[in-house]
Structures are given as C-alpha cells and as structure tokens.
Amino acid sequence: MIKKSKLFLVAGALLFVHHPIQASVDTFLSHKIDLQVSVRGKVVDERGSPVQGATVLVVGTSTSVVTDSDGSFSLQAKLGDQVRITYLGYQDVMRRVEGTEMTVTMSGNNQSLDEVIVVGYGTTTRRSVVGAVDQINAKAIENRPVANTMQALQGASPSLNIQQRSMDPNSNTMNINIRGISTLNSNAPLVVIDGLITDVGALNKLNPMDIENVSVLKDAGTAAIYGSRSANGVVLVTTKSGKRNQRPRVNLSSLVGAQDPQILFNPVQGYQNATLKNLALTNVGKDPEFTPDQIQDLYNNRDVEQWNYDQIMKTALQQNHNVTVSGGGESSTYLFSGGFLDQRSNFVGNNDYGIKRYNLRSNMSTEYGIFKLNTIVSYARNNGLSSTASNAIINSSRIPPYYYYRMQADNGRYLINNALTDQNPLAELRDGGYIKSDNDFFNANVALDVRLMDGLKLRGVFGADINADHRFIRRIQVPLYAIADAERPSVNVNSTRNTEDFNEKRTLLNYQLLLDYNKTFGNHELKGLFGATNESETSRINEIKYRFTDPILGTPTTGTEFDPSSRSSLDGTREINITSLIGRLNYAYAQRYFLEVTARYDGSSRFARAYRWGFFPSVSAGWRISEESFMQAYNERVGDLKLRASYGVLGNQDMDPYQFLTRYEPFNNSYGFNNTAVSGAGFRIGTDDLQWERTNNFNMGVDASFLQNRLTASFDYFHKLTSEILLTPSIPSVFGTVLNKKNIGKMKNQGWELVLAYNMRTGEAQHSFAANVGDTYNEVTYFEGKEQFSETDRIRKIIREGLPVNSYYGYRVQGYFQNMQEIETAALPVGTSSSDLQPGDVRYIDRNNDGVIDSKDRFVLGHGFPRVTFGFTYDLKFKNFDFSMFWQGVGKRDMMVRGELVEPFHENYSFAIYQHQLDYWTPTNTDAAWPRLTAAGSASTSNNYQMESDIYLFDGRYARLKNLQVGYSLPQSWSNRLHLQRARIFANAQNLLTLSMNSWIDPESSEFDGNMGGSANSARNYPTLKYYGLGLDIQF
C-alpha cells in the first residue's frame, strides 16, 4: 500500500512537470543543433574511387570547400545543416549533417542523355535520337543585343549558315540555309513555330527572349515528317511556357546600349588625293587636274577637312525591355510576356529613323480529366522609319575629303561639288523624303489533347497567322546649289517626287489531326504517330505609284494633283493549299537498338492534278554500343557511344503557283499617251507536267561522351542528291515571252559536321567550352544546255556541270608588266595593242597559249558560298561572377569585291582613293599589291579593271568575336532582403573584334546571296555595328 502511494505520487509529479521537462528537452536539442562541429568527409564515385575537385557547400551560407586528390574534405557546420556536393559530370548530392564524419557517393550524370529534344510533331530524348538534329537552348539566345532571332542563331549550329547583308534596322536582308546549297531555287529552310508551319520572315517578328529552344533538323530521318518542304532542312522553334505547381514568378530584363558604325576603309588626306589624281591622269597622257598651289592649299587646310561619310553616320541608341509572368497549379500553367525593342538608325537626319518592335505573347494550358487544352496567342508590331537615300553611303564615300567640299553651307543650303554634281547625301537624309513601314503580325495556336487510353492520345490543332504589311514611300524635292549664295538651285534631288503606297495581307491557316501512341513492354518501346494536316495560304497585294505635281509638298493632302502619266498600280491575289498524310513509327529495344520509319504524302495546289501528289519516306536506325556487355570494361572512359544513320527522300515545291497554267499578266508599269495612262498585258506559257524537286538524303553520325560526360562529341557526314530541279528553259529572245520553269536539273551536296563540348572545374571556377564546325560542297551534275552565265559588275558567274553553283569565272592575273619588252612579247586582250599599255598594268595568263587573251582563257576562279563555318563559346562561372564569349566565322570563302574599293577613282563615279590602295605599282615598287594608278577611260584602266578577272577576288575568311558578356549576380542573402528571387547585372558587347585577311572591308556584310552562291561586296551596305551595353535581370 505504501509502495502504491509512492508510485501514484511519482506519476502525479511527472504529469505535473511534463511540460517544463519537454521544454527543457527542446531547449537542449536546440542548443545541440546550433552547435558548430568540424565535419570530415570523403567523396567517391560509384566504383569507390575518390572524386577530386568536388565542391562541398553548406546550404544557406558562404562556407564551401573543394575535395583534395583523395576526395577528402573538412569544414565547419552545424548539426542539421544541409550540405550540397557538386561536380561536373555527376549528379548533385544533398546530405544532412548528423555527426562529424560523412562519406558521399556520387553517381554519373546522365541528364544530357535525358534531355528532351523537340522534333517534328513531337519530342524525344537525346539518347533516343537517331537523326541529325541540333538543339539550341534559351541560354545561347537570351540577353544578346540582337534585333531578331536569326541574328541570335548565327554560329550556334554547324552548317546553319546565316549572313546579314546589311545592319540597317529596317533591313531584312538576311540569308539562311542549312547544309549549303542543294537546289538552284530557294535554299531557305522550312520554319515551324510551336508546331505550326510558317515562313522565314516570322523568325524576325519573334522576340528572342520568348524562345525556349530551337531545333535544327538536318537529315531525312528528322525532316521527312515535313515532306515536300523539308529538302533544305527545318528550323523548329519552341516558345516558353509556364511550369506546373509553381507560384507566380515575374522576370524583368532590360538591355540598353550604343551602336557605333564600323567604317573600315578610310580616304587619304585631301592633298594626297589631289596629288594621286594628278598622277593617275598623267600616267595615261592626260593633263593634271590640280595645280601645285591648289595642292598646297589643301595641305594647309588638312586639319579642318572632313570626310562626308563621317558626316552622315552617328552613334545610335538601342534598348530592349522584356517582362514575363509565369506559374501554374496542379492542372494548369500560364505565361504572359511583353517585349519592346527600339533600335535607332545610325544615319543622321530624322531622329526617329530606326525600328520599334512590340511583342505580346500568352501561353496557357489546362487539364481536366482526359482533356488537355493549350492556347498560344501572340501579337507583334513593327514600326519602321528610314530615309529614301538608298545610295547615301556609296555617294558620300566617293567624295574626297577636300575641306571646301561641304554638303551644307552656313546659311543652310545644300551644296553640290565636282565629285557629286547632282547628289547630296545629307540633303536626302534630312529633307529628301522617307519610307514609313508598319507590320502587324497575329498568331493563334489552339491544341486539344484527348487521352483515349493509356499510351494513346488524339490531338487536334488549329492555327492561324495573319500578317498585314504596309509601306509608304514619299520622295520630296530638295534644291541643291553650286555656291551658297546662288540665286537659283543648280539641280534638285528627287525631282520626280515619286510616291508609292504598298499593302499586303497574308493569312495562313493550319489544321492538324494527330493520333499519338506510346507504350513500353518490358525492354520493348513502341511509338507511333499518324495524322492528317492541311495548310492554306491566301495573300493579297496592292500597290500604287504616282508623282505629285506640287514640287514642295511633303505629304499627300486632299485636292493634291498628280501626273496621270506617272500612275502605275499592281494588284494580285495568291492562294496556295497543301494537304498531307503523315506517319512515323519508332521502335527501341532496351534503349540499345533504335529504328524509325517516317513517311509523308503531300498534295500541293502548285502542281497540275496529274502531278499534285508526292510521297516522301525515310528510315533511320541507331545503335548504342555503350550498352553492350563488351563495352562495360570501358565505362570509365566512354560514358555513351551511339552510331546512327538515315536515308530518305525529301521534297521542294518552292516556286510561284499557277506555273502549270498559261497566264495573262498586266504590266506593272504603264505608258502615258496624251496625258492618259494606258496599260498593257503579256502572256506566259504554262508547263503542265511540273513535278516536285526530290532530294535523296543520306546521313551517318556518331555521338559519344567521355570522362563522366564532361566531354561530348558528335560527328556527321551527309550526302544529298537533288533531281528534277525547277529551272527556266533558255529560248530565243524573238519568241517574245519567258517560259515557266521545268524539271531539268540535278546537283549534289555533301559535307560533314563536328560538335564538341567540354566542362571542367578548377577550384571554385566552372568552365564550359563548346565548339562546332562544318563544311559543305555542292556540284551541278546535270544542267540542260550544259552551262549558263550571269554577270555581276566586272566578273562572271557560271552554272556548269561538274562545278559548284555560280562559280566565279574569268581571267587570272599573272602579275604586272615590269617593262615594255614583256608587254611586246606577251599575250594581250583582244583589241588591245602593246602601245596601249605601260609597265605596271595587269598581265593575264594565256591559258591555251594561243598568243591572245580571249574567252578561251577564262578560269574557274572560286566560289562565293561560305565553307568551313564555325562557332565557339566559352562560359566561366566563379562565385557570383559569370563571363561568356562567343566567336563565329568562316574558314573558307572566295569574296568578290567590286567598284571603288578595288579601282581608285572608279570609272569617274568616284573621285577618291583610299588608304588601303596606296600600295600601287611604281618603278620603285614593283612588288605592289595593286596596278599603277590610271585614269578612267584609258586603255590601261580597261585592261586592269574591266576584264572580269580575279583582281576582284579576295580571301573571305574571318573570325569575329560576336558577343562578350560579363555579369554579377547578387548574393542570395542580399536578394532575399530585397524580396527578390534573383538579381543580376551585366555588361554586353557585340562585334568587338574581327580577324580577317582584309582589314579594309567587312567580310560578313557582303551582298551575299544564300540561294545562288555569292555576289559582290562593295561597301554600299549599312556598316557592321559595334555595340556596348548594360543589362539587368530581376526575378521575383
């Protein structure tokens, strides 16, 4: 009894003190967790080998160490702290500090193999890809000071050739092709944005900051699903979307900077220009133009002279601002974005010259039961304003920097001079009129998925692109004066006062019905895609041109009269329709063997009924050798190794519609009779047996990873044979019309590509290297008529069996004559005698040794298409700092340069000589780069510069530091105090450095034609811009 009483007393006491005791225990444990301890540990891989260089970080603090050669580490932490262990090539590991000892095992990182790759009408993984596809992620595109997506993609993928012929903000003169030239028609790739087929121009309306990734489909295995339009490859763009179970997230980014035009060629000083002009004249027996006193006067005023080119260009502002709001719940996601680009022109004149682009985009998805609805809506508006002075650059560069050659007098009048007697670039830029353009682009994409059963899904898609383009051109008459105080102007710029009003509306509707199957049976994986699609395009163009009779009126108003005989109009409607059946079957065994079969059956309204349908199949196979048992012993060195190959037939239908019909076409221009506008019409005979162009495409490649996936490599070889090429037959001019195209050509295109990537860590610095290089070579194998010539200024291009498309064709320079004896014994051009030439003039190779230079002595001189294209990226992360640089270039190209950049005082159009032309032949400089100086109209000048020779050809290789970026991210603790998720500031520079064989010309900004191989470079185009800017990224 006494024992029971004691027991109850103890129990009561315990109940009474229960809460105080519990509080004491919690306090004790709390003190224990706050206790700082020294943690010693070791990091090993799956085989137990030490991992040297792994970073061990105490989460939420700045405490971190790096493992030594034994994989060991030691650091101070608190019990209960989280520790993150990271190392390139391995998966991150999180561990909780529960004592003073810790052993960590890291597993190899196969995330790169699990990377989702976007392909036609679906996705796959990197490990399963058996075709040639490159995927460019958002990181390679974001925060670059580019005006459009094509600029951002330049150099990002091997054999994705992108060249911008002009940096003018209002110019869209960019060429793009994949793997070179495969046809004598358009080589532009097919563009697909969020699953809907569109045109290449849509890339320039897309905000680069809205892009999640870009897939470049290069071979038949990946591109055949697009059938008749995939012969030139496919560019698949996927835009960003929200994430499930993510709270609302706001991203703000701004980039503001200055663009400085790079004028690479420079004039000599005024007195030098006058002296050398005299020399050019006297060298051909003419009187000098300048007296010694005039030259002395120019020398005395050399410090006040200005080059006119410098007076029409300026530094300009560029700004880019973007905002994105995204998030999602259990069954829905959303993303809304807005962007604003303002790129000012570098031309003087109207401060509003340039382009403004506004972008709005929404991407929403919701899932309910077996249904999933995804809706993407976007709108883009471009507002552009530019001058009508299309020749401002070349005209201003032709004027020598004589101090008295001013473009504007002190009283404001615009002046002419002996160099430009009827032009004034400054007058045209400021008061000579304008080109106003506005473009509205609307896109809607609605997709409904219905899950019919496990692994089987039905998908219906409707898409619409509506593009409205308007351009108004107004040329305003401006008087020019010979002297500032003249009573009357000597001439007027834009005296015709022409006005043009252009409108185009284009609607593209897209319908898709797809059945998608995906099922795994043990080691067997089966996927299938079957469906039907339809695309219809309608476009309407109308344009009117007329000349106002009022000489000073700047804009049209009610009651304004115009000259009836000047009126011309254009009105046209085009309708195109294509219907397709598609199918794809994928089989994989144990993620080791892969087989894919694809087919598309297309019917296009571009062809007559009997030839309307085409069948385009492909087959692909892959073998992951690394999964075989005999490769297991090499796993430490080789992480993944896959062989793949594909073969298929692709199509090209890129031609004007209705060519199978005989058509009557009104003339674009009209004729005036008795002050009455009279029009006319012509006819064009149709070709009713037109067929698809067909490209037989073979590709084989290998993908490999080494050093725990720190080093990855991919190599591809491809061969394309295109037949039934659509060409316009040659007929006698007396026939009175032009025939439509026929299937009368064949050509081949082959090449290789290599992609390398390497990641490494040194201490707390993380390095990433990525390089790509590719080369292509094309050859015409059949051409009806055997050969065809075209001429660009002073050089010919030839299409001939056995040669690349549009090879340069002309005479080959053998140096310069050194004495009269050489001239008297050499073969000379037809019509030229030895008395016409002098030492220092050009000597040509007599190819057939017949003693005369004629058409039989021409050589194939080269080819303008860029070969051995490459890109290189280096990224560095060190603590909160980051650094990246991107190089892009061409390793092989023959570049044609024309006009005044080669010929001093060019054909009397130019009165200038430039500094790079000073190495000319003289009796004391016989090993010169250029011929002797001669005046236009002389026999020597005709011999030296008008013979279609390789004097105009130069080495077009270059490497350009395309982008350089340095950034700093605020420490997370600072961001938290500011209620931010992330904050980063950065400096950005574009086109900082160019390494080339010719410092006086930009090898990229040539008048290059991506469809026809090459053209000339004359520095007439808007110059390349060097950019410096500051940016800010904020997320909250």
pLDDT, one tens digit per residue, over 115-151 is 788 898 998 888 889 999 999 988 888 878 887 888 8
Q: Does residue 150 sit within a domain?
A: yes
> What is the per-residue pLDDT across 80-92, written as a single tens digit (0 to 9) for each?
888 988 876 677 8
User: Which of 962, 918, 927 lies closest to 840, judged by CA?
Assistant: 927
Q: Does residue 80 sit within a domain?
A: yes
pLDDT at residue 858 in the model: 96
Structure-model confidence comparison of residues 191 and 201, the more confident one:
191
Q: Does residue 128 sit in the same domain as residue 11?
A: no
Task: Using the predicted structure, report yes or no on whether residue 33 has a pLDDT greater than 70.
Answer: no
By percentage, how much of the chain surpasses pLDDT 90? 56
Cβ atoms within 10 A of the Cβ of 38, count? 9
Lowest mean per-residue pLDDT among 332-346, 493-507, 545-559: 545-559
CB 789 within 8 A of CB 895: no
Task: Using the predicted structure, report yes or no on whether residue 634 has a pLDDT greater than 90.
Answer: no
pLDDT, mean of residues 409-415: 92
> What is the per-residue pLDDT across 808-845, written as a single tens digit (0 to 9) for each?
999 999 999 999 999 999 999 999 999 999 999 999 99
Q: Does residue 57 sit in the same domain as residue 176?
A: no
In the listed set 225, 242, 259, which residue is the last one of a domain according to the structure?
Answer: 242
In the listed set 242, 267, 284, which residue is the last one of a domain according to the structure?
Answer: 242
> Among all chains, which residue has been given the structure tokens 């290599």?
754
Q: Does residue 39 sit in the same domain as residue 16?
A: no
User: What CA–CA distance (Å, rounded) separates 1034 from 343?
Assistant: 23
> What is the per-residue pLDDT across 89-113, written as a single tens digit (0 to 9) for each?
677 888 999 888 999 988 766 656 6
Q: How far is CA 701 from the centre of its chain?
A: 25
Return the structure tokens found at 6.
Answer: 């004691």
Q: Does residue 89 sit within a domain?
A: yes
Q: Does residue 24 sit in the same domain as residue 39?
A: no
Burial of 107 (0-12, 13-18, 19+ CB in 10 A): exposed
pLDDT at residue 569 in the model: 67
How does residue 31 score in pLDDT terms, banded at 50, 70 and 90?
very low
Q: Does residue 117 sit in the same domain as residue 209?
A: yes
Q: Does residue 622 sit within a domain?
A: no
Q: Who's near 516: CB < 8 A, 6+ residues apart? A: 122, 456, 457, 458, 459, 527, 528, 529
Q: How far is CA 712 from the centre of its chain?
A: 25
CB 214 within 8 A of CB 236: yes
**Number of structural domains in the chain:** 3
> What is the per-residue pLDDT across 464-504, written as a single tens digit (0 to 9) for each?
999 999 999 988 889 999 988 888 899 988 877 778 889 99
Q: Does residue 101 sit in the same domain as residue 146?
A: no
Task: Using the predicted structure, report yes or no on whether residue 243 has a pLDDT greater than 60.
Answer: yes
Q: Does residue 228 sit within a domain?
A: yes
- Domain at 120, CATH number: 2.170.130.10
User: What CA–CA distance (Å, rounded) separates 1031 from 983?
Assistant: 11
User: What CA–CA distance (Å, rounded) separates 334 from 366?
Assistant: 9
pLDDT at residue 972 in the model: 81
Task: Using the predicted structure, report yes or no on whether residue 1 has a pLDDT greater than 50.
Answer: no
Task: Using the predicted structure, report yes or no on whether residue 3 has a pLDDT greater than 70.
Answer: no
DSSP per-residue codes, 220-237: HHHHGGGGGG-TT-EEEE
Q: Does residue 746 sit within a domain?
A: no
Task: Using the predicted structure, report yes or no on whether residue 958 has a pLDDT greater than 90.
Answer: yes
Task: Using the predicted structure, report yes or no on whether residue 290 has a pLDDT greater than 50.
Answer: yes
User: What CA–CA distance (Å, rounded) separates 240 from 246?
Assistant: 15
Q: Does residue 184 sit in the same domain as residue 100?
A: no
Task: Using the predicted structure, report yes or no on whether residue 537 has a pLDDT greater than 70.
Answer: yes
Which residues lie across from 963 on neighbouring strands? 886, 990
How does residue 43 score in pLDDT terms, banded at 50, 70 and 90?
very high
pLDDT at residue 109 in the model: 64
User: Which of 174, 300, 183 lies closest to 230, judged by CA?
Assistant: 183
By percentage, how much of the chain surpasses pLDDT 70? 89
pLDDT at residue 727 in the model: 81
DSSP per-residue codes, 17-29: THHHHHHHHHHHH
Collapsing DSSP states into helix, strand and coil, what is residue 634?
helix
User: What CA–CA distance (Å, rounded) separates 936 from 924?
Assistant: 24
pLDDT, mean of residues 924-953: 94
Q: Who's near 8: CB < 8 A, 6+ residues apart? A: none
Task: Using the predicted structure, report yes or no on whether residue 752 has a pLDDT greater than 60.
Answer: yes
User: What CA–CA distance (Å, rounded) separates 777 from 892?
Assistant: 11
Task: Using the predicted structure, report yes or no on whether residue 1013 has a pLDDT greater than 70.
Answer: no
Q: Who's near 318: CB < 8 A, 6+ residues apart? A: 145, 147, 256, 257, 258, 259, 341, 342, 343, 344, 1027, 1029
Task: Using the predicted structure, report yes or no on whether residue 725 has a pLDDT greater than 80.
Answer: yes
Q: Give the pTM.
A: 0.86
In the listed set 108, 137, 156, which residue is the last one of a domain according to the structure?
Answer: 108
pLDDT at residue 130 in the model: 92
What Cα–Cα distance (Å) separates residue 777 from each residue in 5, 196, 750, 799, 897? 104, 31, 5, 15, 22
pLDDT, mean of residues 63-88: 85
Lowest mean per-residue pLDDT among 468-482, 679-693, 770-784, 926-940: 679-693
pLDDT, mean of residues 1-20: 39
pLDDT at residue 974 in the model: 87
Q: Which span out of 8-22, 994-1008, 1021-1035 was modeled with the highest average pLDDT?
A: 1021-1035
Structure-model confidence comparison of residues 38 and 557, the more confident one:
38
- Domain at 82, CATH number: 2.60.40.1120
Task: Using the predicted structure, report yes or no on whether residue 557 has a pLDDT greater than 60.
Answer: no
Lowest mean per-residue pLDDT among 577-581, 669-673, 692-696: 669-673
Structure-model confidence comparison of residues 607 and 1020, the more confident one:
607
Q: Does residue 81 sit in the same domain as residue 136?
A: no
Q: Where are the alpha helices (DSSP H) in 878-971?
A: 939-945
Q: Does residue 48 sit in the same domain as residue 23?
A: no
Q: Does residue 75 sit in the same domain as residue 169?
A: no
Q: Does residue 189 sit within a domain?
A: yes
CB 323 within 8 A of CB 342: no
> What is the per-residue pLDDT across 263-286, written as a single tens digit (0 to 9) for each?
889 999 999 999 999 999 999 999
User: What CA–CA distance (Å, rounded) separates 322 from 342?
Assistant: 12
> Which domain range does residue 100 map to?
35-108
CB 106 within 8 A of CB 45: yes
Task: Using the predicted structure, report yes or no on whether residue 738 has a pLDDT greater than 80.
Answer: no
pLDDT, mean of residues 639-667: 84
User: Which of 867, 863, 925, 873 lies closest to 894, judged by CA?
Assistant: 863
Q: Does residue 147 sit in the same domain as residue 83?
A: no
Q: Does residue 202 sit in the same domain as residue 178?
A: yes
Q: Does residue 997 sit within a domain?
A: no
- Name the DSSP letter for residue 300: H
Structure-model confidence comparison of residues 905 and 632, the more confident one:
905
User: What CA–CA distance (Å, rounded) separates 1021 from 1004?
Assistant: 11
User: What CA–CA distance (Å, rounded) separates 396 from 407?
Assistant: 9
